[in-house]
Structure 1
Amino acid sequence: MEALICRKLGDPTGPMTETSPIAVSTSHPKPEIGSPTEVRVRVFSTSLNYANYLQILGKYQEKPPLPFIPGSDFSGVVESVGSGVGKFKVGDRVCSYASLGSYAEMIVVDENHLFLVPDGCDLVDAGALPVAFGTSHVALVHRAQLKPGQVLLVLGAAGGVGLSAVQIGKVCGAIVIAAARGPAKVNFLKSLGVDHAVNLSQDGIIESVKQFLKTRKLKGVDVLYDPVGGKLTKESMKLLNWGAHILVIGFASGEVPVIPANIALVKNWTIHGLYWGSYRTHCPRMLDDSLNELLSWLAKGLIFLNISHRYTLSEANLAFSAIKEREAIGKVMLVLARAATAKL
C-alpha cells in the first residue's frame, strides 16, 4: 500500500528527495487486524494539524521511534473487520483519529475508536473534524462550560482549531471576538457572523477589543481560547473579566507564555490545560459523547468544515508548507490518490 514515512526528524516542507525527512512508500505492508475487535479502514482523507508538523520536526511532546507513519484524524470506508466486531460492517463510512498512522491507504483501529459518518456528510469534512473540532468542543463545552451571552475571545481564529472554536462559540450563543492576521482571514471570519474581528496585522488587540466591549457595554472577556501563546497571550490577559477561563490549547507562535499566578489569584481566573489526545486514556466516554455530538451538528448544518487546501500523499511537503507558512483558512487535508476519484 501507499504510505507517507517519516524517516528522520526535520523540516518536511522541502522537496521530497532521498534525503528529505518524509518519503512516500508505494509498497508498505498492509496493516493486519490483530484482535477480534479491530477494524481495517481504507483511508479516504486525513488531516494535517500543527501537531503533526511539530512531531516530524521532533518538537512535539510525543516522540515515536523512527521510522513511523505520521497522521491522526481521518475518514474512510471499512475494508475488513475482526471476528468480534459488532458495531461496523464492510462498506460503512467512518471517521476516527489515531496517535499515528493515518497518512496511509489503510489503518487498523479498535471498533470502539470508530464513529459512523452520518448520511449526507462529506468524507473529507469528516476526516477534518475529530482533532480540531474535538479539541474546541471539549475545551469550550466541557472545560470552560461556555454559556449564552458570555464573551469568547479566539486567538489564531482562522486556523483549524480557531475556526472550530468560533463556530462552537456561536452554537453556544456566545459573543465571539476573533483575532487573525490579514484582511482575507478577517473578512472570512466576518462572513461567519463573528461579533468582532481583529486584524492583528494592523490593529492592536487590546485597543480593538476594548473599543468593541465599550460599544456593546460589556465588562470584558469571559473565555480566552489560545492556540497561539507568546506575546499575544500576555496582551489578551489584560482583557479578561474577573472569574474568566483561560484555555491553553497550544503554542503556534513558538513561545510558551507565562501566566502570572498572583494575577490569576486576585482575578479568580481558571486556567485549563487542554491536551485533547489524552482524553482517550483518561475520559474516553466524554470524548465519544463529544465527537458524536459534533457529527450530529455537522449533519444538521450547525457547523461546517472549511477545507482550505487539498493534497495527495506525494504532495505532503506542500501540505506541510501551507501549515508552516500560515496559508490556510481552516483545514489542510491529504486526499489519497485512489480516493480522490472514488464516489463514496
Structure 2
Amino acid sequence: MAALLCGRPVFRSWLCRGALKGPGRLYRAAVCSELKQPLAVGELAPRPVLPHEVRVDVHFCGVNFADILVCSGQYQEKPHLPFTPGMEFSGTILETGTDVSTVKEGDRVIGVSHINAMAEECITDQKTVWRIPENLPLLEAATLPVTYGTAILALEHRARTQSGETVLVTAAAGATGLAVIDVATNVLQAKVIAVAGSDEKCKLAMQRGAQFSVNYSQGSLKEAVKQLVGSGGVNVAIDMVGGDVFLEALRSLAWEGRIVVIGFAGGNIASVPANLLLLKNISAMGLYWGRYQFQNFPVFSKSLNSALQYYHQGRIQPYVGKVFKLEEVNDAFLHIMQRKSTGKVLLSLK
C-alpha cells in the first residue's frame, strides 16, 4: 500500500481498454490500472445502458476505506484491472434503459455500485438507486449509502439495539462511527460511549451526540468503560478497529451483550476468545453491508429507505468532514490512510 500513497500521481489521459464507444461526450474518471499504485484521472468513453440500467450524472462520490483496499488488492472482492473505484454516489439521472420504471431522467438520486462511482458518469442497475427529496442537498445525500446503511443494519438488524441501552462505538469520529452515534442517539434513544484515538476526535464525537468518550491511546479501554458504566458493561459494541481494541470492547460487554464487527481499520484481526462468549452469554457477529445487496436485497434496500426516512423526519444529521476534487483522489486516499479524516470524505465531480 505504501506505493499507492508515497507521492502524487502523474495524471494522464487514459481510455479504458474495451470500452464501448457510444453517443455522448467522454467523461472523466479515476482509474486504477495497477494495484498499489496511484490512481490516474483520464477520459473514458461511455457505453450504452442496458434495459434495466440507468446512467447517473455523478455530483459527489464517497471515499471509503474499502475503496483503498480494493485498489491495493486487499478487499474481499477483486475487480479486473483496469477499473474505476467508488461504491456510492449522489447525482441526477441522465438516461434510463428501456425497462426502467423506478426513476426517470432528471431525478435526484443516491446510489450504490459495485465499482465505477469515482467518475462524472456512472451506470448501475435501477434497483440500486433511490430518489431523494428536494430538501436533501446532494452533498449530504452522498454520505448516506455506505455509512448510514452500515450503521442502521449494525444497530437495528444485527444488534437489535433497544431504547435505553448503552452502545460502545470504536473509530467513533470516522464516517461510519459518527453515523452510528447519530442513529443510536437520535433514532434509537440509546446512550453512546464514543471511542477514538485522540482527544480532538473524542470531542467531535461528543459534539455529534455521544454521551461519553474514551481516548483508547491513553490507557485501558475496558477500565475506562468500567469507570463510566460500572462493572455491568455495555449492551452493544460496534467495532471498526479490530485487534486489541476489539478484544477490549468484547471484554466491556454486559450480560447478553452483542458486538458487531464492521472492519479492521487498525490492520489486525483478533481471534475471539470463545470462553468470554460463554461466560456472559455474549453474541459476536459480523456485518458486511454490501453483501446484503446480493444475499438479501430487501434488507439492504430497507437500510437506505430508513436512512432517507430518518433524514426526512429530521432525526439524523450527516456530517461531511472534507471534500476533494476528482483530481485530488490520491490525496483523499492519503487523508484517510493517515487517520486525518473525521466524518465523511467525499469527491466532488463538479
Return the TM-score normalized by structure 2.
0.90
Select which of 17, 23, 39 maps to 1:22.
39
Question: Does the 8 A contact of 1:227 with 1:248 survive in 2?
Answer: yes
Q: Do the aligned partners of residues 188 and 162 (structure 1) sit closer, same or farther apart at CA in structure 2, a change above 3 Å counting?
A: same
Gap regions ≥5 residues in structure 1: 11-19, 340-344
Partner of 2:165: 150
Give the drift of 1:301.
Answer: 2.2
Partner of 2:274: 261
Question: Does the 8 A contact of 1:311 with 1:335 survive in 2?
Answer: yes
Partner of 1:82: 97
Question: Does the 8 A contact of 1:118 with 1:296 survive in 2?
Answer: no
Q: What amino acid is the match of 2:84?
A: I
Question: Does the 8 A contact of 2:232 with 2:255 survive in 1?
Answer: no
Q: Determine whether 1:2 maps to 2:51.
A: no
Question: Does the 8 A contact of 2:178 with 2:208 survive in 1?
Answer: no
Q: Determine whether 1:204 maps to 2:220.
A: yes
Partner of 1:187: 203
Q: Determine whether 1:301 maps to 2:314.
A: yes
Give the drift of 1:196.
Answer: 0.7
Gap regions ≥5 residues in structure 2: 1-26
Select which of 39, 58, 65 maps to 2:54.
39
Question: Does the 8 A contact of 1:149 with 1:174 survive in 2?
Answer: yes
1:245-287 Cα deviation digits (max 9, x unpaired): 1101000000001111222123211121111111011110111
Partner of 2:21: none
Counterpart secondary structure, 1:79: strand
* Separation (CA, whole Å) in 2 of partners of 1:42 and 1:55: 23
* Separation (CA, whole Å) in 2 of partners of 1:289 and 1:33: 26
Partner of 1:283: 296
* Separation (CA, whole Å) in 1 of partners of 2:221 and 2:184: 19
Q: What amino acid is the match of 2:223?
A: E
* Separation (CA, whole Å) in 1 of partners of 2:249 and 2:294: 32
* Separation (CA, whole Å) in 2 of partners of 1:62 and 1:109: 17
* Separation (CA, whole Å) in 1 of partners of 2:245 and 2:256: 20
Figure out how many residues of one structure are paired with residues of the other and give that number.
Answer: 323
* Separation (CA, whole Å) in 2 of partners of 1:96 and 1:328: 23
Counterpart secondary structure, 2:268: coil
Select which of 339, 343, 349 maps to 1:326.
339
* Separation (CA, whole Å) in 1 of partners of 2:209 and 2:298: 32
Partner of 1:57: 72
Give the drift of 1:29.
Answer: 1.0
Q: Determine whether 1:235 maps to 2:260.
A: no
Where in structure 1 do 4 or more consecutive aligned residues deviate above 6 Å? none
Question: Does the 8 A contact of 2:34 with 2:82 survive in 1?
Answer: yes
Q: What amino acid is the match of 1:181?
A: G
Counterpart secondary structure, 1:308: strand
1:203-255 Cα deviation digits (max 9, x unpaired): 431222111113xxx72111110010011111222211121111010000000
* Separation (CA, whole Å) in 2 of partners of 1:31 and 1:287: 28
Q: What amino acid is the match of 1:204?
A: S
- Which residues of 2 match residues 91-170 of structure 1 at below 5 A? 91-170=106-185
* Separation (CA, whole Å) in 2 of partners of 1:122 and 1:322: 24
| Farther off after superposition, 245-254 or 295-304 | 295-304
Q: What amino acid is the match of 1:334?
A: L
* Separation (CA, whole Å) in 2 of partners of 1:232 and 1:150: 21
- How many percent identity over aligned positions? 38
Question: Does the 8 A contact of 1:31 with 1:106 survive in 2?
Answer: no
Q: What amino acid is the match of 1:325?
A: Q
Give the drift of 1:40.
Answer: 0.6
Counterpart secondary structure, 1:329: coil
* Separation (CA, whole Å) in 2 of partners of 1:21 and 1:321: 10
* Separation (CA, whole Å) in 2 of partners of 1:287 and 1:174: 23
Counterpart secondary structure, 2:218: coil
